[in-house]
């Protein structure tokens, strides 16, 4: 790996030895020998399990070293990836109107060195007609960053500034938690919830009851006056209280609020 190793990455690397990795592989491969898994899993994911020790360690870490639970986790992850077509998902597969909104983008790093994936909550609306497209674009970005980082950790910043009742969606937020924690195990370091309005407290109380205590510990609620413990102002765009003018998408696109953005570069 060519990146700086964060505390989170070192923790994963040190969790399990080669014996546990091999146990995980052999038990899952034995399961495959006994089942007809044609169309259920993508062979590319199975090959990754065979070759990537660090990926196996991530799954083991997610299951606190329990090999049997890790095997079940692999089944769940691979099934989801096949259903979503993750290995072949590109920006072209997503509704361009959803892409153009600019609700998801990568941007600089947090203080521990993990790249940030920023989700602009005020760009989200609870709409059954666009649910699948919104799910796909977040999955696309997480997968893209995982490939670029070769599995090393990233952090998520959920930008709740300028959001309100119209942006509340417990089901979609639970999907995000599953995506970040279950389907990409030991990949998301912190989840920063930035400037959450009081009206969303009820939503988060429901979600907190549905997630583990270890996951809850990784969720940090920040404001523009309290974020500096985890985030450097020089690494954040101005609308998040930062000073960085780095662009994150084409300037000819408007934001979901109709305002012109100064940051931009990556088409999302």
End residue of a domain, out of 69, 87, 105: 87
In a domain, 252, yes or no: no
In a domain, 214, yes or no: yes
- 81 and 160 together in one domain: no
- 72 and 119 together in one domain: no
pLDDT in tens, 145-157: 999 988 789 999 9
- 116 and 40 together in one domain: no
- 57 and 184 together in one domain: no
- 19 and 105 together in one domain: no
pLDDT in tens, 189-241: 999 999 998 888 888 888 888 888 888 888 999 998 899 999 999 999 888 88
> Does residue 79 surpass a pLDDT of 70?
yes
Instruction: Tell me the backbone φ, ψ of residue 31, rounded to 5 degrees.
Output: -60, -40
- 169 and 101 together in one domain: yes
Q: What is the pLDDT of residue 206?
A: 84
- 123 and 199 together in one domain: yes
- Print the domain residue range for 78: 7-87
Whole-model pTM: value is 0.87
End residue of a domain, out of 47, 70, 87: 87
Report the alpha-carbon distance of residue 211 to residue 49 in Å, rounded: 26
The model's confidence at residue 249, banded by pLDDT at 50, 70 and 90, is low
In a domain, 259, yes or no: no
């Amino acid at each position: 790996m060519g990146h700086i190793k964060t505390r989170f990455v070192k923790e994963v690397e040190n969790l399990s030895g080669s014996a546990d990795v091999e146990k995980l592989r052999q038990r899952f491969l034995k399961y495959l020998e006994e089942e007809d898994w044609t169309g259920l899993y993508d062979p590319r994911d199975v090959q990754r399990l065979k070759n990537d020790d660090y990926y196996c360690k991530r799954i083991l870490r997610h299951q606190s070293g329990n090999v049997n639970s890790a095997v079940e986790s692999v089944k769940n992850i691979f099934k989801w990836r096949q259903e979503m077509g993750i290995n072949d998902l590109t920006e072209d597969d997503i509704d361009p109107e959803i892409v153009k909104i600019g609700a998801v983008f990568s941007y600089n790093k947090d203080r521990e060195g993990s790249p940030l994936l920023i989700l602009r909550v005020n760009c989200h609306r609870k709409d059954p007609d666009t649910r699948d497209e919104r799910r796909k674009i977040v999955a696309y970005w997480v997968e893209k960053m995982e490939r670029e980082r070769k599995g090393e950790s990233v952090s998520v910043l959920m930008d709740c500034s300028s959001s309100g009742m119209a942006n509340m969606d417990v089901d979609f937020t639970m999907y995000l938690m599953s995506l970040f924690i279950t389907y990409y195990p030991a990949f998301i370091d912190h989840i920063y919830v930035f400037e959450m309005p009081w009206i969303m407290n009820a939503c988060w109380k429901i979600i907190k009851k549905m997630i583990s205590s270890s996951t809850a510990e990784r969720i940090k609620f920040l404001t523009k006056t309290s974020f500096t413990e985890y985030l450097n102002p020089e690494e954040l765009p101005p609308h998040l209280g930062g000073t960085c003018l780095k662009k994150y998408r084409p300037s000819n696109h408007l934001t979901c609020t109709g305002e012109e953005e100064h940051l931009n570069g990556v088409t999302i």
